[in-house]
Amino acid sequence: MKRSLILVGLLIPIAGLTAFAVRLRTTSSHAPSPVAVPAALDVIAAPGRVEPISEEVRVGAEMSGKLRDVPVEEGDRVEAGQVVAILENDDYRARVALAEAQLALKEAELRRVINGARQQERREALASVKETEAVMENARVEQQRRQTGFMQGVFAKEEADRAEREFGVARARYEAAVQRHALVDDEAREEDRSRAEADVMLARARLAEVCALLEKTIVRAPLRGIVLRKHLKKGETFSDQRNIPILTLGDDSVLRVRMDVDETDVSRVRIGQRAYVTADTFRGEKFWGRVVRIGELLGRKNILTDRPTERVDTKVLETLIELEDGRKLRPGLRVDAFIVLNDEAAPSPNR
């Protein structure tokens, strides 16, 4: 009896092992083939920051003053030349109006010099010539008559002398009328015209000067893009002596990433290399692009990750990656940037 129990106890494990072996063989015969794993990317990793293709453009006025209006807000789209801020400028507008009036006056004086006297003045001067000529002719006839009478003893010497004086006065008046008519009827002298033209040019220059000063109180967008930051508001004072702009703009039609490549990796970076960036807020998503610019001078780190193990005493080289599609990213966002050294393992731009 004991021998039978021992035999049964040995057969049970053997049967179990046989069934397990058969099941394992069946499972192995139906298992899927292994998936091909792509070659690992050999990369240079460094921190980076997203920026617009224009970089950050700090916009201010060319003079100091109190802000009358800042008609844009952060996130607004602006066009090149659009007014984005205005300084108080009532005094400059008044100076422009004064300069315009002075220019109009000088232009009128120039026209008067060029055109000369009016037709009424010309006719008046000519009539005066004819009148004085007639008076002079009468005085001449009377002077001759009295002189002849004096020679014949008809008139006294005093009457002859008086007639001579009256003739002289009439002749002088006639000559003065002739000169005035010539002055009125003649064209402007070259020096008078040149002086009048110079006065007009000076008035125009003064007007251009005050218009330029007025234009400096109006701040226009230097490019098409987006308002990244609004530093000053209406009523605040802008000073061209302080390093505080009114606005910060950027052309975000294309985004770039400025990354700090460690000095130990500088020799492996080339323009045109494929690269990608990742951000904590977009977990697992890669934003691809290419290296478009490599700095020439090593310097201190510009981007700090605030990680405890980060070294701040190393030198870095600024490198720019232009993204193919970074619409989800925002300028100023800190990212992790990776430059791919084995380009054949990186996806193509069309993939």
Residue position matching structure tokens 């966002």: 333
Shared domain for 166 and 240, answered yes or no, is no
CB 293 within 8 A of CB 317: no
Sheet holding 83-87, edge to edge: 218-220, 83-87, 65-69, 237-238
The total domain count for the chain is 3
- 274 exposed, middle or buried (CB, 10 Å; 0-12, 13-18, 19+)? buried
**Residue 218 CA, distance from chain mean position:** 11
Mean pLDDT (whole number) for 91-102: 96
What range defines the domain where residue 234 resides?
Answer: 57-88+217-249
pLDDT digits (tens, 9 = 90+) for 288-345: 999 999 988 887 777 666 565 555 556 888 999 999 988 889 998 999 999 999 866 5
3-class DSSP state of 321: strand
pLDDT band at 35 (very low <50, low <70, confident <90, very high): very low
pLDDT band at 95 (very low <50, low <70, confident <90, very high): very high
Burial annotation 125-143 (CB, 10 A radius, 16+ → b, else e): bbebbeebbebbeebeebb
Q: Number of helices (H) and strands (E) in the chain: give both, helices first.
A: 5, 14
pLDDT digits (tens, 9 = 90+) for 182-218: 666 566 567 878 888 899 999 999 999 999 999 999 9
pLDDT band at 116 (very low <50, low <70, confident <90, very high): low
Shared domain for 184 and 238, answered yes or no, is no
Distance CA 217, CA 92 (A): 9
Out of 190, 212, 234, pick the residue that ends a domain: 212
Shared domain for 241 and 264, answered yes or no, is no
Residue 18 falls within a domain, yes or no? no
Q: Which residues, including other chains, have CB under 8 Å from residue 224's CB and lie 6 or more apart? A: 78, 79, 80, 251, 253
Provide the pLDDT for residue 163: 81
Provide the pLDDT for residue 53: 92
Residue 174 falls within a domain, yes or no? yes
pLDDT digits (tens, 9 = 90+) for 232-265: 999 999 998 888 999 999 999 999 999 999 888 8
Distance CA 220, CA 238 (A): 15
Shared domain for 190 and 101, answered yes or no, is yes
3-class DSSP state of 41: coil
Shared domain for 138 and 207, answered yes or no, is yes
Q: Cα angle vertex 246, ends 241, 251, to 5°?
A: 125
Shared domain for 173 and 320, answered yes or no, is no
pLDDT digits (tens, 9 = 90+) for 36-78: 333 467 899 999 999 999 989 999 999 999 999 999 999 999 9
Encoded amino acid at 130, one letter: K
**How far lies 234's CA from each of 52, 62, 348, in Å?**
27, 17, 49
**Over pLDDT 90: what percentage of the chain?**
45
Position with higher pLDDT, 126 vs 119: 126
Dihedral sign, Cα of residue 141, residue 143, residue 149, residue 151: negative
Position with higher pLDDT, 350 vs 153: 153
